[in-house]
Structure 1
Amino acid sequence: MSNGPLPKKVDPRKLAERNAEISGSAKVADFTRFASFLCSDSGSIDVALAFSIDQQHLRTVTGTATGQVFMTCQRCLEPVAVDVKAEANLAVVLNEEQAKNLPGYYDPLLVEDEDVEFLSLIEDELILSLPSVPYHDDCTIQTSFGDTETIQNQQDKPNPFSVLARLKDTADKS
């Protein structure tokens, strides 16, 4: 098990043969594509990956990446802290044909050369873990009239269609 600075490149096939585990922290700024979705590239992501060979003799990479990042709130346009957790469940493949034949619970990790960028193993999963519309639970925004208004969560508002649901329920019982 390696716990310290994360390597730049790894050979997932060799690491799987040795049942290796690698964990450590990486700067958010090191994930260039992931950082482009954020309003700040400060902070770090904790990464823990295990390389192994499963019962079907597939070389696999499993693990997690967790951290807290800052995105722009889509209500007030201020930074909002977002907890991210990405889980990887990858199988090493050498070509597209092998990728098509993988069991559905694995995502393919196409390895054309011996070494792959270590952080790219988890970066796509981090991107997918981001909310599509980040926002604070309660925002105070400035209106065009200079007043401030608090926006509450949608859960606090009554559902305008609840009357229709009651009507449907009474119609179903008749």
Structure 2
Amino acid sequence: MQNQPLPKQIDARKLCATTANIRAQASVSTLPRFAAGLASDRGEVTVDIRLYREEQGFYRIDGKAVASVDVFCQRCLQLMPVEIVAEFALAIVWTEEQAKALPKSLDPVILGEELLELDELLQDELIISTPFVNYHDKRECAADAPVDYPAPEGAGSEEKGESPFSVLGSLKPRD
């Protein structure tokens, strides 16, 4: 199956009833909420989604999204490329009660009679799968070894053995 542009909206229930596969690509720049947490809006997202009705009667959306994006290394604050992989198993439900009754292995998508905003769903899944912090491998990181800052003048002049808190003794009232 060939990659196509990511549809903005889909009739998820109809596609589940007939079983459908969507293989699409999207530019990160077309996913603004996801791009807001990255170093830039450059990059591509490849999406593989299967919509079907399973034997238990659940309308399912199973998918995988792979995004090649730039983030900031938290050590050196330089750009670094990462691959974010979001895998999801969702069930379409109509009410909160139905959502609570789903097996723990499925996350709910509460959908009334409206179309499913596929780009919004995809952004949610990518945001959840994005690591909170990112680091280059130590060999590749531009950050130097920890900086050893000099002590302020006069610091460290106390004699060994004398507590730095000994001055507090002079503040205590004497009986």
Whether the 8 Å CA contact 1:140–1:150 is kept in 2: the answer is no
2:142 corresponds to which residue? Answer: 140
After superposition, the Cα gap between the structure-2 partners of 1:8 and 1:2, relative to the gap in structure 1 and judged at 3 Å, is farther
Instruction: Map Cα deviations across residues 74-116 of structure 1 (whole Å, 9 max, x no partner).
Output: 1111111111100110000111111000111100011123202
Distance 1:2 1:140 in 2: 39
* TM-score, normalised relative to structure 2: 0.77
1:55 corresponds to which residue? Answer: 55
Question: Shift of the alpha carbon at 1:3?
Answer: 4.0
Max Rg structure? 2
1:65 corresponds to which residue? Answer: 65
**What RMSD in Å do the two structures reach over aligned CA positions?**
1.5
After superposition, the Cα gap between the structure-2 partners of 1:30 and 1:113, relative to the gap in structure 1 and judged at 3 Å, is farther
Gaps of 5+ in 1: 142-148, 152-174
Distance 1:104 1:125 in 2: 17
SS at match of 1:84: strand
2:35 corresponds to which residue? Answer: 35
Distance 1:124 1:6 in 2: 15
Question: Shift of the alpha carbon at 1:6?
Answer: 1.9
| Divergent runs of 4+, >4 A | none
- Determine what percentage of the aligned residue pairs are the same residue: 42
Q: Which moved more, 1:63-72 or 1:116-125?
A: 116-125
Question: Shift of the alpha carbon at 1:63?
Answer: 1.1
Gaps of 5+ in 2: 147-175
Q: Which moved more, 1:2-11 or 1:62-71?
A: 2-11
Question: Shift of the alpha carbon at 1:70?
Answer: 0.6
* TM-score, normalised relative to structure 1: 0.78
1:93 corresponds to which residue? Answer: 93
> Which amino acid in the other structure matches residue 140 of structure 1?
A
2:149 corresponds to which residue? Answer: none
SS at match of 1:121: helix
Distance 1:111 1:2 in 2: 28
Question: Shift of the alpha carbon at 1:2?
Answer: 7.3
2:6 corresponds to which residue? Answer: 6
Question: Shift of the alpha carbon at 1:18?
Answer: 0.9
